[in-house]
A and B are shown apart, each in its own frame.
Chain A
Amino acid sequence: MTVKTLKIDGKDVAIERGATILQAAKEASIPIPTLCFLEGVTPAAACRMCLVEVEGSSKLLPACVTEVAEGMVVQTNTPKLQEFRRMNVELLFAEGNHVCSICVANGNCELQDMAITVGMDHSRFPYRFPDRHVDVSHEQFGIDHNRCILCTRCVRVCDEIEGAHVWDVAQRGEHCFIVSGLHQPWGEVDACTACGKCVDACPTGAIFRKGNTTGEKERDRAKLAFLVTAREKHQWTR
């Protein structure tokens, strides 16, 4: 196994070839904020929270998909990155309709946590108040597009872990939204096995269990990573 050595925030790190900067940082106990990244499924680099500065690159690079290289020098927490991350979270809030006080995920939401982490206390951008809908046609679950941050975690867990591929992203740019089936009501999509993995995966209150009210959403995130390791390593207990 070839090992690559690099410097993250001045710390020397050695890690196998093919690993990402995010993995290397984790190894070295250097936290990098992430939102769309989910252990166990392919990274999508959709949220841009994990952007880092790499010496010699004029662009900021997403740590979750950028492979380490020999001699790389990475900065994860410069004032520029801090400012950028905060702005990014503000944009996520301004883009959708996030009314935390009545949200099922209130108090248990990765977007909320992220806002606190980056020190966001208000949005400098005007809220867009987009006209989005709620689909509660499914027997057990619902999706409220107002709270969706388009991280595509649901798309990936459903496709890669459950193998049902219920979800996709429709449209482009600001009109993007998550669709079930070929844009059918979720309750009419036969492929859905009602396994609930997307509920566990969704970082916000966008996908929820029906009947849950304010702040009642619970998720078993560890289950997803467990399922992946269980299949790969044949360890079926946790």
Chain B
Amino acid sequence: MTKTIVIDPVTRIEGHAKISIFLDDAGEVSDARFHVVEYRGFEKFCEGRPFTEMAGITARICGICPVSHLLASAKTGDKILAVKIPPAADKLRRMMNLAQITQSHALSFFHLSSPDFLLGWDSDPATRNVFGLIAANPDLARAGIRLRQFGQMVIEKLGGRKIHAAWTVPGGVRSPLSPEGRQWIVDRLPEAFETVNLALGLFKGMLDEQLKNEINVFGEFPTLYMGLVGPNGEWEHYDGKLRFTDSQGNIVADGLSEDDYHAFLGEAVEPWSYLKFPYYQPLGYPDGIYRVGPLARLNVCDRIGTEAADRELQELRDRAGGVPTSSFLYHYARLIEILACLEKTQELVDDPDVLSSRCRAHGGVNQLNAIGVSEAPRGTLFHHYQVDENGLLEKVNLIIATGQNNLAMNKTVAQIAKHYIHGTEIPEGLLNRVEAGIRCYDPCLSCSTHAAGQMPLHLQLVAADGQILDEVYR
């Protein structure tokens, strides 16, 4: 018997988004929804495959942040082997994640978002992109492109390829950093520092001037924040324990293990979106709304643990007068994280362990149920595998960062719509602001398409009786 399984389209969530804005009887915005209308089949078709392939398979979910999946998958694999990976492997994996966060944040800030800040929300969409930026501010554009390239090159120096490097494996990594690779990083670091400092100065200046209002409209509301923290509450990106904090800065839960994610994370489903809605279980749905990613990581940690980044973190907190709660500040947080990544990379290149070839532990299938976690650029990423005694996957669950920001993204869209829509028509320039509201979270759905100048977006204005009053496509 032969059977044909068709998974069509096979996309996680990159690509198409639809937004509906609902009006009440008085014609004011009552709610807005951000729909992800594509189906993901990854979890299903991994079943039956050896778990050792998972790093390679799941890295294909995303071309921008494959490293995150490689890491979460390898960490889950470590647990299936029940091995403690060698110290060199731990440091090398960390180094790759730092490079990954750097390149992904650089892409988000310079290529995708800065055209809005620098060229203006209402500027011509045809040039409101990285090409327009190159024309308007070639030095900044070039520096941004080179910063991203720096991150990608570190990944390549470590893994042999820029994208989809199959270098992290259950038990460790395949090979250490070469002395030449190390030297290349040392040589290029100063320029990377310079670029991020330039961007930080520029962005802070804009927050005082032209971007002052955006802070209050683009996702300014209280939620919980979740992220990994180190043993002393410091900023973490690869290992550590999970912490939830609230918008007053109180620790809601601490020292949580990814192994128990079922106990504290619920996943709600809505009929209008293929993207699930994770929430903090003890508070229920939708009150358990939480945010992950750069801003959340900075909010949950006590300190970063490196000098310059800690100074910047303090300034961010001072400016916000406490906990920064606006999603617009994700951009700011991204820049601070790039700085932290560069400082930590600097520490790691000076560590002789990164050149050590003792970087892979071997083992058999010693645990059948395993959960791995790591911080992707966009937030906390969980991989959960259940294998049979031979290591073939029986069940796979992936909790992706973009999904965890789903509730917050919806709320952000509603907030922006309420601010700008008063009537039955969608005002000019709103589309871009809504889009930018979503882009604060740097979700994967924008990454594949926006770089070329547009994100396929469909906006509908719906009256209280269900009638569609206006719609725009991009």
Binding site for B on A (CB under 8 A): 101-102, 128-131, 133-137, 139, 142, 144, 174, 187, 210-216
Do the beta carbons of B362 and A213 come within 8 Å of each other?
no
Do the beta carbons of B56 and A213 come within 8 Å of each other?
yes
Shortest Cβ distance from residue A42 to the other chain B in the assembled complex, whole angstroms? 31
Cα A215 to Cα B408 in complex, Å, equals: 40
Do the beta carbons of A212 and B52 come within 8 Å of each other?
yes
Do the beta carbons of A128 and B2 come within 8 Å of each other?
yes
A-B pairs with beta carbons under 8 A, tally: 52
Point out the residues of chain A lying under 8 angstroms from B4, CB to CB: 128-129
Point out the residues of chain A lying under 8 angstroms from B174, CB to CB: 216
B474 at interface, CB cutoff 8 A: no
CB-nearest residue of chain A relative to B50? A136
Cα A128 to Cα B4 in complex, Å, equals: 7
Do the beta carbons of A101 and B164 come within 8 Å of each other?
yes
Shortest Cβ distance from residue A192 to the other chain B in the assembled complex, whole angstroms? 15
B67 at interface, CB cutoff 8 A: no
CB-nearest residue of chain B relative to A130? B2
Point out the residues of chain B lying under 8 angstroms from A101, CB to CB: 56, 60, 164
Between-chain CB contacts (< 8 Å), 14 pairs: A128-B4, A129-B5, A131-B1, A131-B3, A136-B50, A136-B390, A139-B364, A187-B390, A210-B50, A213-B53, A213-B55, A213-B166, A213-B170, A214-B56
**What 16 new A-B contacts, CB under 8 Å, besides A210-B50, A213-B169?**
A101-B164, A128-B2, A131-B1, A131-B3, A134-B48, A134-B50, A135-B390, A136-B50, A136-B391, A136-B392, A187-B390, A210-B52, A210-B391, A211-B52, A211-B171, A212-B52
Cα A53 to Cα B5 in complex, Å, equals: 40
Point out the residues of chain B lying under 8 angstroms from A212, CB to CB: 52
* A131-B2 CB under 8 A given contacts A136-B391, A213-B169, A215-B166: yes
Cα A215 to Cα B175 in complex, Å, equals: 14
Cα A133 to Cα B392 in complex, Å, equals: 10
Point out the residues of chain A lying under 8 angstroms from B60, CB to CB: 101-102
Chain A interface mostly: loop
CB-nearest residue of chain A relative to B388? A136
B84 at interface, CB cutoff 8 A: no
* 7 residue pairs, one from A and one from B, having the closest CB atoms: A214-B166, A102-B56, A214-B56, A136-B390, A213-B169, A213-B52, A131-B3
Point out the residues of chain B lying under 8 angstroms from A136, CB to CB: 50, 390-392
B204 at interface, CB cutoff 8 A: no
CB-nearest residue of chain B relative to A144? B50
Shortest Cβ distance from residue A137 to the other chain B in the assembled complex, whole angstroms? 5
Binding site for A on B (CB under 8 A): 1-5, 48-50, 52-53, 55-57, 60, 164, 166, 169-171, 174, 362, 364, 390-392
Point out the residues of chain B lying under 8 angstroms from A129, CB to CB: 4-5
Cα A189 to Cα B48 in complex, Å, equals: 22
Chain B interface mostly: loop
The listed residue (B5, B53, B390, B392) touching A214 by CB distance below 8 A is: B53
Cα A56 to Cα B392 in complex, Å, equals: 53
Cα A129 to Cα B164 in complex, Å, equals: 24
Chain B CB within 10 Å — which of A102, A130, A187 has the most?
A: A102
Point out the residues of chain B lying under 8 angstroms from A139, CB to CB: 364
Point out the residues of chain B lying under 8 angstroms from A135, CB to CB: 390
CB-nearest residue of chain B relative to A131? B3
Point out the residues of chain A lying under 8 angstroms from B390, CB to CB: 135-137, 187
Chain A CB within 10 Å — which of B3, B50, B174 has the most?
A: B50
Cα A118 to Cα B357 in complex, Å, equals: 39
CB-nearest residue of chain A relative to B166? A214
Point out the residues of chain B lying under 8 angstroms from A211, CB to CB: 52, 170-171, 362
Cα A129 to Cα B2 in complex, Å, equals: 8
Do the beta carbons of A134 and B169 come within 8 Å of each other?
no
The listed residue (A102, A130, A174) touching B53 by CB distance below 8 A is: A102
Shortest Cβ distance from residue A150 to the other chain B in the assembled complex, whole angstroms? 16
Point out the residues of chain A lying under 8 angstroms from B171, CB to CB: 211
Point out the residues of chain B lying under 8 angstroms from A137, CB to CB: 390
Cα A104 to Cα B52 in complex, Å, equals: 10
Point out the residues of chain A lying under 8 angstroms from B5, CB to CB: 129
Cα A10 to Cα B169 in complex, Å, equals: 52
Shortest Cβ distance from residue A233 to the other chain B in the assembled complex, whole angstroms? 37
Point out the residues of chain A lying under 8 angstroms from B57, CB to CB: 102
Point out the residues of chain B lying under 8 angstroms from A128, CB to CB: 2, 4
Shortest Cβ distance from residue A194 to the other chain B in the assembled complex, whole angstroms? 14
Cα A214 to Cα B4 in complex, Å, equals: 25
Shortest Cβ distance from residue B93 to the other chain A in the assembled complex, whole angstroms? 15
Point out the residues of chain B lying under 8 angstroms from A131, CB to CB: 1-3
Chain A CB within 10 Å — which of B1, B48, B53, B164 has the most?
A: B53
Cα A215 to Cα B167 in complex, Å, equals: 10
Cα A85 to Cα B263 in complex, Å, equals: 57
CB-nearest residue of chain A relative to B49? A134
Shortest Cβ distance from residue A55 to the other chain B in the assembled complex, whole angstroms? 41
Cα A30 to Cα B170 in complex, Å, equals: 45
Chain A CB within 10 Å — which of B4, B52, B164, B174 has the most?
A: B52
Cα A219 to Cα B171 in complex, Å, equals: 22
CB-nearest residue of chain B relative to A187? B390
Cα A74 to Cα B169 in complex, Å, equals: 50
CB-nearest residue of chain A relative to B60? A101
Cα A139 to Cα B1 in complex, Å, equals: 30
Cα A174 to Cα B56 in complex, Å, equals: 29
Shortest Cβ distance from residue A134 to the other chain B in the assembled complex, whole angstroms? 6
Cα A128 to Cα B53 in complex, Å, equals: 22
The listed residue (A134, A174, A215) touching B392 by CB distance below 8 A is: A134
Shortest Cβ distance from residue B78 to the other chain A in the assembled complex, whole angstroms? 13
Cα A141 to Cα B62 in complex, Å, equals: 30
The listed residue (B1, B48, B169, B362) touching A133 by CB distance below 8 A is: B48
Point out the residues of chain B lying under 8 angstroms from A213, CB to CB: 52-53, 55-56, 166, 169-170
Cα A216 to Cα B52 in complex, Å, equals: 11
